[in-house]
Amino acid sequence: MKGRATDITYRPVGIIYTPFKEPRGTPIQPAAAAGVNGKVVIFPEYAEGLKDLEGFSHVILIYHFHLIRRSMLRVRPFLDDEMHGVFSTRAPCRPNPIGISVVRLKRLEGNVLHVQDVDIVNETPLLDIKPYVPEFDVRAVEKTGWLEKNARRSSEFRDDGRFVE
C-alpha cells in the first residue's frame, strides 16, 4: 500500500496524575468520573505550548495506555456481554493503545493543568492536548450502534482489569 508508514514514534509531552493507581476500579469514561480531580504535568520543554489554554473550560487529553501489553481485534467491552470489533469500542487493548478523554480544566499553574472528571490511570503518559470546542467537536448523532442500549449506564461501570490481566 503506497504511503503506508511502518514505524511511528511519539514522545510524551507530560504525565497525567490521578487517584487511580491501577486500571481495576477506574471509571470507564469521563462522564462516570464526575468530580474526580487530577493533575497533568507538562514537561518543561513543552510548557510554552500551554499559552492561552486557560481560556478553555475543557480540554481533550490524548494519552498512551501504558499498562496495556497486548492488542485484541475482538473484545468484550465493559458495557456489553457480547464480543465486538475493537474499533467499535473504546476498549484500551487496541493495535495502537491511544486513549482520549475530555476533561474540565479547572486552572493552569505554570506547567501544571488541574483537571476534573478524569478517568485515567495514575502516571499515564500524555501525548497531546487539544482544546475542546463544541462548535468543532459536538455532532448530531443518528445512531450509536451496539452502545445504544447501555451508553447512558456508563457511570455504573468501573474497569475490572480485563484488559491488563
Predicted local distance difference test score (pLDDT) of residue 46: 98
Predicted local distance difference test score (pLDDT) of residue 115: 98
Which residues are paired to 47 by β-bridges?
none
Predicted local distance difference test score (pLDDT) of residue 139: 79
Question: What does CATH list as the number for 14-133?
Answer: 2.40.30.70
Predicted local distance difference test score (pLDDT) of residue 29: 81
Q: Phi-psi category of 145—alpha, beta or left, where left has phi over 0 and alpha has psi -120 to 50?
A: left
The number of beta carbons lying within 10 Å of the beta carbon of residue 8 is: 6
Domain parsing of the chain, residue ranges: 14-133
pLDDT < 70: residue spans in the chain: 1, 144, 147, 150-158, 165
Instruction: Fill in the amino acid letter for 33.
Output: A
Count of residues in the chain: 165
Distance (Å, whole) CA 161 – CA 165: 6
Hunting for cell 500524555 — which residue is that? 126
Q: Tell me which DSSP letter residue 158 carries.
A: B
**Which residue, 104, 121, 105, is CA-closest to 113?**
105
Predicted local distance difference test score (pLDDT) of residue 155: 62
